[in-house]
Amino acid sequence: MTLYIDPPTWPGHGRLWSHLVSDVSFDELHAFAERIGCPRRAFERDHYDVPEFRYADAVRAGAVEVSPREVVRVLVGAGLRRPKGRPA
């Protein structure tokens, strides 16, 4: 059971964002996100959008730093990938 986060390089709403994912379950992902102060509304289909000011909090709490490509590999490997346009 591991959580993964990519670098905050995704622009939006005047800031940079990371993606936080689990390799086990959405329940684990939701619990971790809550612990680091990410609101449930930041959950998007299969990941949390994490603002750059929370990136260090996620890493300190145990999230493993990976590339954006690795985030997708983790989701696919865990069977948790939910691409846009497909039902949740």
Spans of all domains in the chain: 3-78
Rounded-to-integer distance, Cα 29 and Cα 34, Å: 9
Alpha carbons within 13 angstroms on the beta-carbon side of residue 81 total 12
- 28-67 per-position pLDDT tens digit: 999 999 999 999 999 999 999 999 999 999 999 999 999 9
Which residues, in sequence order, are bridge partners of residue 83?
none
Percent of the chain with pLDDT over 90: 90
Beta bridge partners of 3: 22
pLDDT tops 60 at residue 76: yes
